[in-house]
A and B are shown apart, each in its own frame.
Chain A
Amino acid sequence: MDLESRLNLEADEAAVVGFLKEHGGCLERDEKQTGTYWLTLHPRSDSKETYFVRLVWHSYPHEPPSVKFATAISGHLDLTRAWPIIDGYRPSSLDICKPFTAEGFSLHHEWRQSANAWPTTGNPFLWVVETLQYDLNLHYRGRSS
């Protein structure tokens, strides 16, 4: 990861940590890979359920992150039961087809030239995490099998 991206991420981390703390979650940096973070999230309707998310940034804030659900921090990324059931979240494809993930933009190149283009202003790291948390709070229908 380039130095600019690393410094930008470090500058924006604090707001992400604060947001997650307000919602009972947390953020951890991956020890081995710069630009990789692990989120712990809980849906508002079922605080006993815990979801782990790996975010991988390659160029921040210029490109969206890869977003995948895992069985644990540094856990398996290829199990559907790690995923929540939310419209646009595709456990069978292990991706989120929405315009805040690298996977979504890879499937929909037209988003880059539309109103859903990846935003680079403000704190996009916080925006991605907010989006994940609010999808869990507002659109969650249980855990995938």
Chain B
Amino acid sequence: MLETHAPPIIAVTVTFALSKKEPYHADFGRDTLVGTVRTKSMTYFDVTDDAQYRYYLTHDGQNVDENLSLGQVTGESHTIKFGLRKELIQG
């Protein structure tokens, strides 16, 4: 019987349009929460949440729930690319 095994380590890339830096790259265990990746990528890009705006990780055109694990988002893939976006206030 052929068994598929989800990879234990996921190679994560996070891009941020407003940074001069190269994309953030790091390996995480598949049980790592998306919220942890968000925090670490924000530290890399030197941005912080504020009372007026917040940063989200996006994937497949949507904000990703921070309480999900990477494994829940990637399935059996061993790589994933997120975007980091800044949610603006309304005028």
Query: Interface residues, chain A, CB within 8 Å of chain B?
Result: 15, 23, 44, 87-88, 96-100, 104, 107-108, 114-116, 119, 121-124, 126-127, 130-131, 133-134, 137-138
Contacts and interface: CB of A to CB of B under 8 A. Distances in A.
A97 B85 CA distance: 19
A137 B61 contact: yes
B3 interface: no
Nearest to A137: B61
A97 B61 contact: no
A124 B17 contact: yes
Nearest to B16: A122
Interface stretch (B6-14, B32-40, B50-58, B66-74): B50-58
Given A44-B62, A116-B53, A134-B58, A121 B88 contact: no
B90 A98 contact: yes
Contacts of A115: 50, 52-53
B65 to A, nearest CB: 13
A54 B17 CA distance: 20
Contacts of A126: 17
Given A99-B89, A122-B19, A124-B17, A116 B52 contact: yes
Contacts of B63: 134, 138
Nearest to A107: B91
B20 interface: yes
Nearest to A133: B61
B59 to A, nearest CB: 11
Contacts of A108: 91
Contact of B88 (A23, A107, A124, A131): A131
A116 B16 contact: no
Given A116-B52, A134-B58, A138-B63, A121 B18 contact: yes
B51 to A, nearest CB: 9
A52 to B, nearest CB: 19
B91 A121 contact: no
A40 to B, nearest CB: 15
Nearest to A24: B61
B15 to A, nearest CB: 9
